[in-house]
Structure formats: C-alpha cells, structure tokens
Structure 1
Amino acid sequence: MSSVESPELRPTLADVARAAGVSTATASRVLNGFPRVRPKTRRQVESAMSSLGYARQRAARASTGGRTGSVALVVCEEVLRLFADPYFARISAGAGKELTAAGLQLVLLTVPATEDYQAPVVRYLDGGHVDGALVVGMHGRRPLDLGWLGIPVVFAGRPVCPREPGRFSYVDVDNRGGAQRATQRLIDAGRRTVATIAGPQDMTAGVDRLLGYRQAAAGAGRDHRGLVVFGDFGQASGEHATARLLDRKPHVDAIFAASDMMAVGALRALRRVGRRVPGDVAVIGFDDLPVGRRTDPPLTTVRQPIEEMGTRMTAELLAMLGGSAAPGCAVLDTELVIRASA
C-alpha cells in the first residue's frame, strides 16, 4: 500500500535550516551550490536535507516542470486594514489584470506584521505553491528577506535596509518628491504653521514622505519642531494624530498628511473642533484615492499611480519568470492634484 505525503507536511528550506542550525539564507546557498560556505556547515545542511527528504521533494517538483500557474500577492497588514484601505484593492487590480492576460492566477496571502510574521510567508512560498510573489505593505521591524527563495519576488516600494542592495526587484513611487511638492504648496500659499501627519517609520513610504516634508520646511527656513505627529496610514490614526497636534499647536494652519486616509481623519478632527477647511486649516493628503473626491471639501492630494504600480510589478515578475530580466527597480512619478482643501 503506497502513501502520499501531504503538501502541508513537506519539509521547507526553513525546516532544513532549523534542523541544521543555520539561517535560511545559508541553507539556500548550500542548495544552490554557492562556493563560499564552510565545509562543516555544508555537511550539516546536506545531512538535514537528506534526513528530512528535502532534496528528493525538490527533484520531484522539478521533474514535473515546477510551474503552478499561480502568483502570490503577499500583503503584510491586518485583514481589516486590507479591506478598509482602497490602496490594496487598487494595487491588486493592476496586478490581477496583468496576470489574467498571462493566464496566471492571483493567490492572496495576508499576514499581520507581527514579530514572527516571516515564518508563515516563508513556509508558504517555499512550499512549491506559487511561481512567484508580489509583496505589498512590507514593514521593516524585521525586513522580509525572500531573496534566497527559488522563485522571483517583486516588492511594492523599496525594501527597508536590504542586506544586499540591487538583489531585490521593486517598484516604488517618488514619495519624497511628492511630499516636498505638497508641503511647498502650503508654504507658497502663505501658511505659517505647516504640520505633518507622518506615516510609519518602519516603511520606506513613511520615511521618504517625512523626509520630503522636512526638506521643504528647511528650504523655506521653517522650524518644524513640534509639528510632526505620526499615524499608521489609516483614518483613525489620522484623526487621533490631529487631535494631539491641535493640543500641542492650536494655531496650526496647514497639515500635510502622508496618506489620504489619514487626511480624511484630519478633516473629521478639524470639523469636530470647529476649524474650517481650508479657511482656518489647509489639508493635503497623499495617494489620490476615490474617497478624496467625496470629502467636504474635496481633498487636495499627491497622486501616485497605484494601479500602474501593480501592473509594473507584475510585468517585472513575468519577465523574471520568463528568464528575460534580472532583479531591477523602477520609481514612478507623482503628481500634485489641486482641489478645494488647500
């Protein structure tokens, strides 16, 4: 009587690394024949592969062609945030169109950005379930290092502090330039106290947008001390950050929010305390989500080409799957869209 090993029980490279007492990157170097591995370490990894049956499993998949017809969209955010923030839906739409045209299926994998969020991602992607991965919403507390996997990976946004620059493919937007233009718009309009609701500083988008704000403020000789508050790109965080800001600096007359959802929260907080927009406080967001056209007043914002970003990421991935491209990066332009809020 023959038995069939369940895919869920198949050993992954992470299992091999754990058994050998090495990192997954080291186990990958042994598997792929990299020369700069100590002989003792190589023997440990090879022994672990043999005892777990890892090498035989990989060979079996290779003999069947190794293609699944699926690509994973890995979203490193809470599920509630995934469905509440239109950013993720729009980037998925861009990716989905491109994959459908190529005859591939999009598989959604969501993981909260907790301390141990890497483990389920690595286990799934290393399990032979998909041909490649698109990674969105990556946080940098423990940067998600997938460069050692045997499948191509493309990130939405520049990875935070990659160990080996140039090793990862990513598609980003000009976050710093967009934030700088938005802040300069407020300064040029004669606003005296220009604050910002900055995004998470463990994401490059949050870091770069805050840098753009600071560069514009410094270029105009403005002191921005006490005018920076932080949110998580979500609406509730923007509302709470604005309340804190008004307690600290009640005479603030302009706010650049590093996302449209935080800007919507800022509008709610300002309305609650009777501050008129843009009469008393001008507000600019970042993203150009549809919600910004329906706010009262309509939201001035920095447009980033979100669907194009998803399309471009997928095109990069497909080129890598076809063997016609090496890992590379692209930075898309942003545009300041003027509406009534500023």
Structure 2
Amino acid sequence: MTTTRTTIAASAPVRAVPAHTFTHLVRLTDDTGLLEHARHATPRREHGYCTDDVARGLVVTSRETDPSPEVLRLAETYLAFLTHAQDGQGAFHNRLGFNRSWTDQPGLGDWWGRALWGLGTAAARSPASWIREEADLAFVRGASCRSADPRAMAFAALGAAELLRADPGHEPAAGLLSDAFAAIGDPGSDPRWPWPHDRLTYANAVLAEAVIVAGDLLGQPAIRTAGLRMLRWLLDIQISDGHLSVLPSAGWQRGGPRLRHDQQPIEVATLADACATAATVTGDHHWRRGVQLCVAWFLGDNDVDAVMWDPGTGGGYDGLTLQGPNLNQGAESTLALISTLQRRGSVVLDDLDGR
C-alpha cells in the first residue's frame, strides 16, 4: 500500500458537506437511553442499551453550542442513564436490557472511560447549569477510580481535558489526566512504529489525543510532542492514494500483514477528533487536512467510493466492506458520523465544500 502525508487527490470529486443532524439519534433514543443497534434504520429493542454509546451521545449533544430543545432533551436522557449506571464507588454498568435490568456488574472497562468522557464534556460545555453540576458530581466520583486498561484511561482523559480547559484548578481531572499518560505509555523513538503498544486495535487515535492533551494541559511539552508524533504516524499510515483508508476491525499487529476491511466509522471519528485537537493546540494546517480526509471518508472518498451515511434518515452506516457499506445504522456509527461532521466547523474544508 502506498501512503502520502495529507494530500487529497486532485482528481477527487467535489462533494457537498452536509450539516450534521440528530434525526436518527432521536429515532434511536427513548425515555431510558440510546438503543445500541438497528436493522437498517429501525431500532432493535431486543439488543437494549449500552453505556458506551450513551456516553458518546452525551459527548456529541454537549458539544452543541446552541442546542435545540430536542438535543438538550437527548443530553438530559443520556445524563440520567449514566448516573443510573454508576455505582457508589464510581464504576459503571455497561449493558442494560430493554426490560431495564442490568445484565452485567459495574466495572472499569472502556465504558467507564467513555462515561467520564461524556460527563466531563457535559460538565464543561452544557448550557444547562443543572446538567453541568450533576455531570461534574458523577465525573468526580468516577475519577476516583483507575482502570488497568490504557484505552479506558485514554477515553477518561478526554473528559478530564474538557474540564481542565473550563477549570484549570479541577484537581480530580488533573490527577486523572496525569495517570492516563502513565497508563498509555511512552511511544518510543522508533520512527517505523512510534506507538506504545505492539498492536493497533480500535479507536486508536484516542491514545494519541490523550497524550497530546496531557502534555498540553499539564505543561509538559515533551509529552505533547510525543502525542503529536504518534498522531502524525497514525494519520500517515492510514492514507492511501490521497484518501483515508482506516485500519480494519481486526487491527494490525506490528510486523504482521495489514488487512483493508472491514473498516469501522469509529476509527474515522476518533481520528477526526484527534486531528481537530492537534490543530487547536498547534495551529498547524496539516491537522486541518486530516479532518478533511475524515469528513470525506463518510462522503464516499474511501477505498470503494461508497457514501457511508443515509441522507434520508441521517444515520451512519455500520461498516465499510469490500462489497460496500453495511447498511445497518446503529448508534456507534451514527454517533461517529455526527462527531466527525461537528469537526467541520473547526477546520477549513474548502476542497470539500467546493468553494
């Protein structure tokens, strides 16, 4: 596979960039939470809800600077779900059946990290004071815990970063962010694999973003530089012939063969988030081009030239295969679409908008 830094092919077709919409998220949400799966656009109630998706829902709804009453109601529902999922020690259940019974015990897996990401974002950004206050209480309780999983700590770090930007004196957030970098580890100096682990799995860019924000907000320039080096490499290896070709769900082992499919929207969304953060921290146009590539992936500038969302429903497709998109429009893929399109407002997207 050939790679290039951030060059969008000159012959790529001009694609109009849509405004993000919460229409399908509303469709997937009831008065309990966000249903995890869908058959095409129809929610599958039998599969219930998960904290992972509800937390991501709280992230995207809290990012809205002027949310509509409908979007604010979504945020309220997601916050209520997360506070119900949390136990007295700060851990979280992940899976709730449609009958409103938990099917697992509270834990500190990825869902704990994502819950803190959502709570930190709501506490820092929500226009509703009661949401900010309740989210901060739940965040502080959760931030008293530490996960043994580096990726869970990375997700939690993003919530801590949101709070530290709003309140630099927030001690629980600062402590969590510092420990997250220690959990992720040093990427090392090998330019062929500047990554702290021997395998890339999923949502990989969250690790780089967590290192970047830890260095930036804790006043550690060397750590910030390490995170930027991780992200630059991760972006470079996922560009093929001028378009984004993200790592597949099977991941990639160092020294092993790399597959091309199936590609998941979550990879694109986390890469867009990380590039947007890097652009804000550095002011480097390189990272804005990274966000461009992520937006373009959803619009069809990918390995099989397939549009990865349904304009009729506002839902994101669940995955990209060699035969084209998986047309189911579950919560994770729809949230990835919304999250990526939200980033278009923070970067220059002239090539995509056709201006």
- TM-score w.r.t. length of structure 2: 0.27
More helix by share: 2
Normalised to the residue count of structure 1, the TM-score between the two structures is: 0.28
| Higher RCO structure (Cα 8 Å, ≥6 apart) | 2
